[in-house]
A = this chain, B = another copy of it.
Amino acid sequence: MTELPLQPKGALVIIGGAEDRQGDCQILRRFIRLSGGTEARIVVLTAGTSEPEEAGETYIEIFERLGAAIVWVVDTREQADANHIDAVRAIGQATGIFFTGGDQARIVERIKDTILEDAIRKRHQEGAVIAGTSAGAAIMPDVMIVRGESETSPRQDSVTLGTGMGFVSGILVDQHFAQRGRLGRLVTAILLQPATIGVGVDENTALVIEGEEFEVLGEGAVTIVDESGITYHNGDIAWEDEAMSVFNVKLHILSAGCRFNIHTRLPTAAPL
């Protein structure tokens, strides 16, 4: 029997925003190392941000400082740019692909269903690492939080879901998690999208997914919201703007070194 390669080969680095870019750059350093270290060829995708030149310059400077061999910026201001041969060729040679922050809807609008998307997906299967911070993290799964309200308890109208890039299945990512008080909107999102694991990523914190497992690194925590044990919720009868009730949500709060298996939904403590 031949086993089909159902899992993409390259790692995913999902960063909760505001990653350190001045100090030891632990998270970005890990991304470069996974992408081949001094042989890393990095493409920075600035589709999310309204300041693509500034963001591009910033990440060129950092990734070169961290030792990458080559850093290209692919600036897709409209969807047509994402069918440009130069962009596609750059991806074809990349060992690491990095999505900046900004607006997650803009990233999907500009890159989804383009030749660039196909190239990214193919390159990921061949082993290239995909990383994204903030909006660039939100787009990773099949389904994403397009926008939502922070600092509220769960309410139907606290979150809007949409199609993500689909580099990983079975999870839903929220970023700036503790810093913006986003438990309520992540719980709401999970109720709207059953059988999905909520993954809230703090600032300057990341998860590195390889296969079915991920590891946490960085300063804060990754909060897992597991809905599999929920015994009651009134999401079907609550008004859109009304506080919802949910019983028996399971939470895991994972700091650096902890691992989590997306398939078995089991966390593992960091080695001592």
Query: Residues of A at under 8 Å CB distance from B?
Result: 150-154, 177-184, 187, 202, 205, 219-221, 223, 232, 234, 237-238, 242-256, 258, 267, 269-270, 272
Contact = CB atoms under 8 A, between A and B. Distances in A.
A243 B221 contact: yes
8 contacts: A152-B178, A152-B220, A181-B181, A243-B255, A245-B267, A246-B252, A249-B250, A249-B252
Nearest to A267: B247
Contacts of A242: 255
Contacts of A234: 255, 269-270
B253 A244 contact: yes
Contacts of A249: 250-253
Contact of A255 (B181, B220, B238, B255): B238
B255 A153 contact: yes
A178 B238 CA distance: 18
Contacts of A180: 151, 181
Nearest to A176: B151
